């Protein structure tokens, strides 16, 4: 599976989805994939970021993480998206990034990309599943192939059990409530595995 290019595209204001992305990176590299961890561009005004100490700290700490571009999407055989929920939907930062890929879509360059998604919220019923499914709706328009984790690992039963894509609850102190590291790593390896099947089938 060493010939699979995986782009992990995330948005994170205070660090949760960045951590999910890093766990996914670790597992995908173990599976032999070529991996890029990329953030989507921050759209919030500087005043909003600076008014939240945790947001400001994470913003400063990840300034060197590359910003995702259309070239990264074209490069990738597989994509993992990691994003918090906003009112059961995608945050505007991630939505704008997806909306900007119309050129790739129109030229057929999003077809047969293997994709998977992860999410977070501050409440266990705060919209994580809806956020993942909303992102998957866009992926269906792309002609992408969705690699949901389902219940393909026992870890799903101890990490919250979201079959659409790993999701995690974050408490008011910024701590993850569920232990999702193993599930994230399984989802990443599964995404790379499915991408290898697809790529072999196209050769």
Going residue by residue through the chain, which has 203 residues, state the pLDDT in tens, using 9 for 90 and above: 568 999 999 999 999 999 999 999 999 999 999 999 999 999 999 999 999 999 999 999 999 999 999 999 999 999 999 999 999 999 999 999 999 999 999 999 999 999 999 999 988 888 899 999 999 999 999 999 999 999 998 888 887 778 999 999 888 888 888 889 999 999 999 999 999 999 988 76
What are the tokens at 122? 């501050």
Q: With contact defined as beta carbons under 8 Å apart, do 100 and 46 qualify?
A: no
Q: With contact defined as beta carbons under 8 Å apart, do 145 and 198 qualify?
A: yes
What are the tokens at 54? 């945790």
Report DSSP letters for 151-190, one per residue.
T-SGGGGTTT--SSS-EEEB-TTS-BSS--HHHHHHHHHH
177 Cβ contact partners less than 8 Å away, ≥ 6 residues apart: 124, 168, 169, 170, 171
> What are the backbone dihedrals phi and psi of residue 28, each rounded to the nearest 5 degrees, phi first?
-65, -35
Q: Which of 57, 139, 69, 143 is nearest to 107 (CA)?
A: 143
Backbone torsion region of residue 157, taken as left when φ is above 0, otherwise alpha when ψ lies between -120 and 50, otherwise beta: alpha
**pTM score over 0.85:** yes
Domains of the chain: 5-202 (3.40.50.360)
């Amino acid at each position: 599976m060493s010939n699979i290019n995986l782009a992990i595209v995330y948005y994170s204001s205070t660090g949760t989805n960045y951590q999910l992305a890093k766990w996914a990176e670790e597992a995908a590299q173990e599976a032999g994939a070529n991996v890029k961890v990329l953030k989507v561009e921050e759209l919030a005004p500087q005043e909003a970021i600076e008014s939240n100490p945790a947001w400001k700290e994470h913003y400063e700490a990840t300034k060197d993480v590359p910003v995702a571009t259309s070239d990264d999407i074209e490069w990738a055989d597989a994509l993992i998206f990691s994003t918090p929920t906003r009112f059961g939907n995608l945050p505007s930062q991630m939505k704008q990034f997806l909306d900007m890929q119309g050129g790739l879509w129109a030229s057929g360059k999003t077809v047969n990309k293997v994709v998977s998604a992860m999410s977070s919220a501050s409440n266990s019923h705060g919209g994580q599943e809806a956020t993942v499914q909303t992102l998957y709706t866009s992926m269906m328009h792309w002609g992408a192939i969705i690699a949901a984790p389902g219940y393909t690992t026992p870890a799903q039963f101890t990490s919250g059990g979201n079959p659409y894509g790993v999701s995690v609850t974050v408490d008011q102190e910024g701590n993850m409530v569920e232990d999702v590291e193993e599930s994230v790593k399984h989802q990443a390896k599964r995404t790379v595995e499915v991408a290898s099947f697809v790529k072999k089938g196209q050769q």
